Amino acid sequence: MKIGHITLTTPFILAPLAGITNLPFRMMVKSYGCGLVCSEMISANGLVHESPKTMDYLQSDRREKPVSFQIFGAKPDIMAEAAKIVQSKGADILDVNLGCSVRKVLKTGAGAALMKDYQLAASIFQSIRKAINIPFTIKIRSGWDASGNDAIEIGQIAESCGVDAITIHPRTARQGFGGQADWSIIRRLKQQVNIPVIGNGDIHSAASAFQMISETQCDAVMIGREAVHNPWLFQDIVSRYQKVPSPKLSLHERFDAICDYVDQSIAHMGERRACRLMRSRLGWFTRGLPNSCRFRESIRFLETRQQTFELLMNYYKTICSME
């Protein structure tokens, strides 16, 4: 699959997830065959004003390429300037968020609010397209009602403005992550535009990824929440895509990957901040393993690398002794 001039090795993509898809997590997922990784949602306003915290979101590594950086905002000139900054930092693809339904984002006219204002959305698309040369994509929802008409309209506008691909999460802005994703809207959008359509929503397994492709004829599948606690899912999906046996991840390999993620996170954000983050992350990564509830209780007060690795190794040995 191609997005603009960028060829993806596999049509399976990591979704942009606020607070999750930083560089260490993207690197982890990339190692399991993910075709494209996406950054967290980044404020266009913060980029233009060179906020140090916002600029940190643009950290990247050549080993994760191709990488897409997602921005949000509601002012065409600010969005265009932010897009230039993203391009200058080495992004392969720029993505624009039209799906976030968090109240503080909606109040600024950004995110899913843009799906109510076709004219403003078109102005943003045109301004960005004039500002950058790299491929440019958008991520949308089905709209503000269940009909999906907003998605079709925005998709057609996007194509006419030079957008290179569209990702659609077919839930309404009001649904958030509740209810069920309506995959039929993905199929309808695919029938109405001539640029790649990427499906997103309710992918819980390799089987559901291929079911989405079969039912909607989408060009690629984006995986979000399931990847948070199961980044290894990409390995299973890609193996099936390549028609090779799916390697079963051993306990040793799983813990090896977790330890590498911890070290990369410490290098990325510092020991104290990273170890505090591991209080939730390690709980996600060990979900479903024996005694995981007890392990989650033990990591509630992580502060140091030594403490983190001691608890991980003790937990690993405990599981091994049970086999």
**Res 321 pLDDT > 90:** no
The token pair at 154 is 């925005």
Average pLDDT over residues 28-37: 96
What pLDDT is recorded for position 94?
A: 99
Return d(Cα 125, Cα 79) in angstroms, integer.
9
Residue type at 89?
Answer: K
What pLDDT is recorded for position 86?
A: 98
What pLDDT is recorded for position 246?
A: 83
Write the CB contacts of 1 (distance below 8 Å, at least 6 apart in sequence): 7, 8, 11, 35, 196, 219, 220
Full set of structural domains in the chain with CATH: 2-241 (3.20.20.70), 251-322 (1.10.1200.80)
CB 73, CB 110: distance < 8 Å: yes
Question: Mean of the per-residue pLDDT values for the chain?
Answer: 95
The DSSP element (H or E) to which 148 belongs, if any, is: none
Q: Tell me phi and psi for residue 302, to 5 degrees.
A: -60, 135
- For CA atoms 98, 137, 151, 226, the dihedral sign is negative
Q: Can you say how many angstroms the Cα of residue 316 is from the centroid of all Cα atoms in its chain?
A: 29
What pLDDT is recorded for position 232?
A: 94
**DSSP 3-state of 33:** coil
Q: 52-88 pLDDT, tens per residue?
A: 999 999 999 999 999 999 999 999 999 999 999 999 9
Distances (CA, A) of 175 to 110, 181, 186: 17, 9, 17
Q: Tell me phi and psi for residue 91, to 5 degrees.
A: -65, 145
What pLDDT is recorded for position 20?
A: 94
Return d(Cα 80, Cα 175) in angstroms, integer.
30
What pLDDT is recorded for position 322?
A: 79
Q: Looking at residue 246, what DSSP letter applies?
A: P
**Res 323 pLDDT > 70:** no
Which DSSP string do the residues of 262-293 spell out, in sequence order? HHHHHHHH-HHHHHHHHHHHHHHHTTTSTTHH
Q: 257-290 pLDDT, tens per residue?
A: 999 999 999 999 999 999 999 999 999 999 889 9
Tell me whether residue 100 is one of the annotated catalytic residues. Answer: yes
The DSSP element (H or E) to which 128 belongs, if any, is: helix 118-131
- The residue written with tokens 């998605």 in the block is 151
Question: What stretches of 181-232 show up as alpha helix (H) in DSSP?
Answer: 183-192, 206-216, 225-229
Average pLDDT over residues 35-59: 97
**DSSP 3-state of 253:** helix
What pLDDT is recorded for position 175?
A: 83
Average pLDDT over residues 227-251: 92
Q: 80-136 pLDDT, tens per residue?
A: 999 999 999 999 999 999 999 999 999 999 999 999 999 999 999 999 999 999 999
Catalytic site residue from 100, 161, 218, 275: 100
**Res 212 pLDDT > 70:** yes
Q: Which of 199, 201, 229 is nearest to 214 (CA)?
A: 199
Q: 167-211 pLDDT, tens per residue?
A: 999 999 888 787 899 999 999 999 999 999 999 999 999 999 999
Residue stretches of the annotated binding site for FMN: 70, 139, 169, 224-225
Confidence of residue 140 (pLDDT cuts 50, 70, 90): very high
Q: Are strands 2-3 and 6-7 parallel, antiparallel or unpaired?
A: antiparallel
pTM comes to: 0.94
Q: Which residues pair with 199 in a beta bridge?
A: 168, 221
Residue stretches of the annotated binding site: 70, 139, 169, 224-225
